[in-house]
Copies of this chain bind each other. A is one copy, B any other.
Amino acid sequence: MTINQATDYALRAVLYLARQPQGEVTEAQVISEQEVIPIRFLLKIMPSLIKAGIVKSFRGVGGGYVLAKAPGEISFLDVVEAVEGPVALNRCLIDYAFCSKKGAPNCQIHQALADVQAKLKAELQGHNFAEFIN
């Protein structure tokens, strides 16, 4: 039921970038030190944020990362799903094949969990990174 460590680090990395002057490129080393994230691990996580369109990167001397959108347009859900894939409270909610009852006609547990999951996603979507800036 918990987000993993990589996601926790990703949220902190995005928040750190959101706090920098707009357009300023920050290198991995700095994020790593400020947010206390093992640099190798951080460097492995960043590409998933890039693929999701949350950050942009620049290579070579003077390279680093910048947000690809305004902080207000990046939700917690965006970051969580970028790192972990789709939020699913139960494997069945991704594919009935995972269910030992094969989603037997209207499994009511399934329906209730789908409801809770929708609320959870809405909550995660309700938090964006603008809310943390001054």
Q: Which residue of B lies closest to A34 (CB)?
A: B101
Most B C-beta atoms less than 10 A away, residue of A2, A107, A115: A2
Question: How near does chain B come to A41, taking the closest CB pair, in angstroms?
Answer: 10
Which A residues between 33 and 53 are near B, CB-CB below 8 angstroms? 35-37
Question: How near does chain B come to A99, taking the closest CB pair, in angstroms?
Answer: 8
Contacts of A124 in B (CB 8 A): 116
Task: Tell me if B112 and A76 are in contact (CB < 8 A).
Answer: yes
Q: Please report whether the interface of chain A is mostly helix, strand, loop or mixed according to DSSP.
A: helix
Given contacts A12-B101, A108-B132, 14 further A-B contacts (CB under 8 A): A1-B1, A1-B3, A1-B80, A1-B84, A12-B107, A15-B109, A35-B100, A36-B101, A76-B112, A76-B113, A112-B131, A115-B123, A116-B120, A116-B127
Chain A residues near B (Cβ < 8 Å): 1-3, 5, 8, 11-12, 15, 35-37, 76, 80, 84, 87-92, 100-101, 107-109, 112-113, 115-116, 119-120, 123-124, 127, 131-132
